[in-house]
Amino acid sequence: MKDFNGKTILVTGASGGIGGATVRKLAERGANVVAAGRVEAGLDKIATDTGARILPFDLTSEDSVASAIGDLDLWGVVNCGGYGGEIASPQDTDIAVFDKVIAINARGALLVTKYAARTMIRLGQGGSIVNVSSQASLVALNGHISYGASKAALDNITRVSALELGQYGIRVNSVNPTVVMTEMSAFYWGRPEIGEPFLEQMPLHKWATEDDIAGPIVFLLSDEAAMISGVSLPIDGGYTAR
């Protein structure tokens, strides 16, 4: 199925698990994918595997974002670049880490949206933006003060962007995944005393895979979701339905 018909879609965080799975699914469905990340070397494999174009830039720098994507003719964006930060309570959090998490997860996604939306409006062909948020924005999770706050901000960026950009035919949505048991997340969620009680509370009782998240991202980008905008879609095995 080649339903994206060469539409150009930017995926940030493309060297990561969810970002890489999204690039692969989009390429399979005929998109012209621009795979973005902070370091070019980390993008080489996904580019080789899919034919995606590599575009390194720094999400924390407005100049870097503007220079990289300001002149791209984009139809779609997946804001998947992110930073986990620390596991800490409000009273123990390192504010420097908090600032970095916000700078990448919320401010970085807004910067990409700012410059991508300008070119999407200029082209006049509508489009779709999907922000990769988290279940941590929907419910309180121990130790997630910085990460949860950054993703809650991202969900609001999603809603306001959907409101502002709808007049141009641009849809904006978020996906809010549960834990994907990657190497990055295993250091915390892989601990039996933490992971097992969490899974007991989840109706489906299993961790998500990268493809479990990439599939709904691609759906929200596609014309099959033509009347969906401004939503935060939990992909969490029913955890937030409790």
The residue from 83, 115, 147, 239 that is catalytic is: 147
Q: Edge to edge, what strands does the sheet with 232-235 contain?
A: 53-56, 32-37, 8-11, 76-79, 127-132, 170-177, 232-235
The question of whether 188 is a catalytic residue gets the answer no
**78 to each of 2, 162, 220, 223, 240, how far by Cα in Å?**
18, 14, 10, 15, 23
The number of residues in the chain equals 242
Token reading at 18: 């969810």
Specify burial of residue 140 (Cβ count, 10 A radius: 0-12, 13-18, 19+): exposed
Please give the positions annotated as active site: 147
